[in-house]
Amino acid sequence: MTSAAPPAPEQRVEVPFMDLAGGIAPIRAQLDAAFARVLDSGWWVLGKEVEAFEREFADACGTAHAIGVASGLDALQLTLRALGIGPGDEVLVPGYTAVATWMAVSLTGAEPIGVDVDPETFAIDPALLDAARTERTRAVVPVHLCGRPADLATIAAWAAAHDVALVEDACQAHGATFAGRPVGGLGVAAAFSFYPTKNLGAIGDGGAVTTDDDALAERLRLLRTYGWRARGDSEIKGDNSRLDELQAAFLRVRLPRLAVDNARRREIAGQYLRALADVPGLVLPAGGDGHVWHLFVVRHPQRDMLRAALAERGVGALIHYEIPPHRTRAFATAGQTLPVTDRLAAEILSLPLHPTLDDAAVDAVIRAVREGCRA
């Protein structure tokens, strides 16, 4: 790991992990117009923009419904609540995921049961589902981590055989496809986040549930706003979890660009995979059809040294996620054992990958990784 000298400051290309402002620049005028349209409408919560976005997003996912909510976390937890899941129930979740997947289950009163993942694909390992299931298991939540669709065919068959609901966590996988079909319509429902860093990001928080189930969609519409159908009379005990008109208007600007943005992500991932294939010690992520590369996560036995070497060369790399959910203080008391997840957490490193990363930046990342891995 003692690597070649870092480049002199004048030839150094700074590649931050993210460039959210840079992503806004090409659509600035459209966003300004959307902002003005909503301001002038005088209607800012649950109106025409949300309705239009819900229709457009449902079409993109090939589902009958999309229900806008306040975040990806809420999309998950409200879906589980709408399915009647709560105290006394168990929900199977992957060990390797964002803590939100686990937190959503807990917020319903149910218990998240971690299932270990496949070390190559990072997805929940279908072979481990039987051992994790009890008579309390009500749902399984596969996560399309990093934008790579989980093996939904196997998981759907397993879920159907055991009368367990399949809820997709598609928060990292807008536009991804499994066997040619968009994610979001492959289980009973799917949760999406529009957090700014996601493949489809708002200018703030937002989320949505997609589903083909009319009754579930209706229940979610009640749950997101105090259980109201008619304002003032709560039919059920609901929440306040609404997608703002402004965010919906911004998302309507971005949604038509999602396919182009995802194509650029695939192109960059392809460059990394080709240019880094022969680097000793470096394990590259699994590719695959339908992958939208929300994150490009490599593995290295000396991850922290590699990260430092990249930082020295101006390349920002992050760890998703340094502390897996079962090791966080909130969940560690349950004492769940997830050895593959633990091993991955020690080795993973996310390289910069977003649609506005240009070729010079991609080359700088490749150079920095090659130098950083040189023993």
Residues that bind ligand PLP (CB under 6 A): 71-73, 97-98, 100-101, 143, 169, 171-172, 193, 195, 205, 207
Q: Peptide bond before 321: cis, by omega within 30 degrees of 0?
A: yes
User: Among all residues, whose Cβ is closest to ligand PLP?
Assistant: 72
Q: Which is nearer to ligand PLP, 171 or 373 (CB)?
A: 171
Instruction: Give min distance, CB of 146 to ligand PLP, in A.
Output: 9
Q: What six digits make up the tokens of 226?
A: 């105090």
Nearest approach, Cβ of residue 172 and ligand PLP (Å): 5
Report the residue number, 349 or 364, with the smaller CB distance to ligand PLP: 349
199 vs 225 by CB, closer to ligand PLP? 199
Calpha distance 374→22 (Å, rounded): 32
Residues 6+ away with beta carbon under 8 Å from 212: 63, 64, 65, 185
- C-alpha separations of 54 from 59, 104, 220 in Å: 9, 22, 13
Q: Which is nearer to ligand PLP, 172 or 262 (CB)?
A: 172
Residue 292 beta carbon to ligand PLP: minimum distance, rounded to whole angstroms: 13
The whole-angstrom separation of Cα 329 and Cα 369 is 33
Helix or strand holding residue 138 (H, E): strand 137-140
Instruction: Specify whether the CB–CB gap between 102 and 167 falls below 8 A.
Output: no
| DSSP 8-state class, residue 146 | G
According to DSSP, the residues that pair with 113 across neighbouring strands are: 92
DSSP 188: S
Instruction: State the helix-helix crossing angle for 48-61 and 28-41, rounded to 10 degrees.
Output: 130
Nearer to ligand PLP, 321 or 362 (CB): 321
**Rounded least distance, CB 117 to ligand PLP, Å:** 12
Q: Are strands 296-299 and 348-351 parallel, antiparallel or unpaired?
A: antiparallel
CB of 75 to ligand PLP, least distance (A): 8
Q: How many residues does the chain have?
A: 375
How far is it, in rounded angstroms, from Cα 153 to Cα 30?
A: 39
When the beta carbons of 57 and 306 are compared against ligand PLP, the nearer one is 57
CB of 274 to ligand PLP, least distance (A): 27
- In terms of CB distance, is 291 or 313 closer to ligand PLP? 291
Report, in Å, the least distance between residue 200 CB and ligand PLP: 11
